[in-house]
Amino acid sequence: MAEKEAVQSDQQTLGDGDIEDLCVAVSDFAGLSDNELQFSRGDKIEVLQKTSEHWWWSRLNGHFGYVPTNHVVSFSDSSFKQISWQDCDYFENYGTLKLHLEMLSDKPRTEAYKKAFEVYCRHTKDKVVLDIGCGTGILSMFAATVGQAAKVYAVEASDIAHYTKSLVDKNGLGEQITVIEGEMENIVLPEKVDLIISEWMGTMLLFEFMIETVILGRDKCLKEDGVIWPSEAQLYLAPCSAQSVYQAKVKAWDNVYGYDFSSLREEAVKEFFYKPIYNHNLSDEDCLAEETCILQLNMKHVQIQDLEKIDKDFSFLVKKSGPLHGFCSWFSVGFSHPDSDSPMVVLSTGPKHSQTHWHQHLFMLDEPLSVAPDNEVTGRITLIRNTEWRRHLTVIIQGQVLKSVNKERIQSFHKVFPLWMDQVLKDEYIKPKD
């Protein structure tokens, strides 16, 4: 039988179904016998079994042992940091090399930042830069060497920061770059900065809501005439075919080695299409209409409260016939400088550009709809930030296919997609309107 699942479980993951029992050490403990864990204040320890009131069977860095419960605070204690941000999981992800390697290996992503420093170098020279969520420090290094910044503050909350300092030193940039280990929210810089750089974008642009940290950093640290990179962001939507996905997940059940397994189709739709397919590679030919922009952010001015609920009507003119399986989404960001006439540096994650580690996000309807050229697909997309799990959101897509001639409604659709945790929604979002 399959063992692939276990591979994935070997990775620290963020999101649905991964509420582990974790505690944080509030004081050092030496471990008095072989079956007691040794740990230091601040260690995050996995609780495997709450064996007794006084001792929990736990794991830390691959070692197993008991921890005395009076030395730790459980994450579920209300006294502890709100679990709704899942910061422990979140920063634990970014504390491993795996994600950083993936991001660094994403050349369109990383080189867009580098190019911004190349194009606007004249304006970043000798300036002070803040890198929010610096990771391994690559963007700070671009700022220091390509951008010739005088000073870079590189802030990182995950454990990767332990390494960042030594990487900066090894590359002879210790004078220019100051690595600060901590959360942006708690940090006070000795000065305001000319430029903020950050790579905060996630699925549907907003997932993980790191943008909130960037906005907080901006309001706290950016000079009034300062610049923020990316300077703007756009989120796009397009109706599309996804025949191979539909074939592989739904139609496959119609004929299984000659047997009829089609009674599993409904369950398959539920299981495979309940959430968006996050790593879809949309081919341009599968777009049934030109994409439309459903969200435009000006990073200098966007406010946190703007992101709680986003509503956008759409209207697509179908350009080719085909089964409409769902909608695809992607985003782009732009880097500009007010003192420069250079054309904007753009990083697009769309199907017409080189594939990035974000891919495209595919929202599959339960059943494909037939559309023909000049049909209109009109409706509304709503993004609702999860009120409980603050790094998550829910996407609602609803609308209809209209005939080209008399605008008569042929078919309609309405679907709610959680990314990733479910949330309780008002009836108006759950129930399709007539």
Residues in 68-107 that interact with a second copy by CB under 8 A: 76, 83, 93-94, 96-99, 101-105
The SS3 of residue 401 is strand
Q: Which two tokens stand for residue 184?
A: 């942006």
156, 199, 212, 376: which one is catalytic?
199
Residue 46 binds a second copy (CB under 8 A): yes
Nearest-angstrom CA–CA distance, 360 and 305: 26
Binding segment for a second copy (CB under 8 A), chosen from 48-56, 226-234, 322-330, 404-412, is 48-56
Site for a second copy in 103-132 (CB under 8 A): 103-105, 110-111, 114
Nearest-angstrom CA–CA distance, 382 and 397: 7
Buried b (16+ CB within 10 A) or exposed e, 265-294: beebbeeebebbbbebebeeebbbbebbeb
Annotation says 111 is catalytic: no
Nearest-angstrom CA–CA distance, 283 and 320: 14
Helix or strand (DSSP H, E) at 48: strand 44-49
Site for a second copy in 254-293 (CB under 8 A): 256-257, 259-264, 267-268, 271-272, 275, 278-279
Binding segment for a second copy (CB under 8 A), chosen from 186-194, 199-207, 331-339, 406-414, is 199-207
Residue 404 binds a second copy (CB under 8 A): no
CB of 372 to a second copy, least distance (A): 32
**Facing residues of 369 across strands?**
324
CB of 143 to a second copy, least distance (A): 12
Residue 201 binds a second copy (CB under 8 A): yes
Closest CA to 403 of 355, 365, 370, 434: 370
Closer Cβ to a second copy, 12 or 412, answer by number: 12
The SS3 of residue 120 is coil
Closer Cβ to a second copy, 262 or 340, answer by number: 262
Residue 208 binds a second copy (CB under 8 A): yes
Closer Cβ to a second copy, 269 or 410, answer by number: 269
Which parts of 128-277 fold into alpha helices (H)?
138-145, 161-170, 211-221, 243-249, 265-273
Pick the binder of a second copy from 71, 249, 337, 385 (CB under 8 A). 249
Closer Cβ to a second copy, 43 or 199, answer by number: 199
Site for a second copy in 356-395 (CB under 8 A): 357-358
Closer Cβ to a second copy, 63 or 309, answer by number: 63
Q: Which two tokens stand for residue 22?
A: 């974790």
DSSP code of residue 116: H
Q: Which two tokens stand for residue 312?
A: 């956008």
Annotation says 208 is catalytic: yes
Residue 48 binds a second copy (CB under 8 A): yes
Residue 11 binds a second copy (CB under 8 A): yes
Residue type, 262: S
Site for a second copy in 16-45 (CB under 8 A): 16-21
In the chain, the N- to C-terminal Cα span, in Å, equals 46
Helix or strand (DSSP H, E) at 380: strand 376-385
CB of 312 to a second copy, least distance (A): 21
C-beta separation of 245 from 280 below 8 A: yes
Closer Cβ to a second copy, 9 or 186, answer by number: 9
Pick the binder of a second copy from 28, 32, 64, 311 (CB under 8 A). 64
20, 36, 118, 208: which one is catalytic?
208
Q: Which two tokens stand for residue 12?
A: 């620290």
CB of 343 to a second copy, least distance (A): 23
Nearest-angstrom CA–CA distance, 303 and 330: 22
Closer Cβ to a second copy, 280 or 325, answer by number: 280
Pick the binder of a second copy from 15, 239, 326, 379 (CB under 8 A). 15
Site for a second copy in 284-343 (CB under 8 A): none
**Residues with Cβ < 8 Å from 395, sequence gap 6 or more?**
204, 276, 363, 381, 382, 383, 384, 416, 417, 419
**Which positions are annotated as active-site residues?**
199, 208
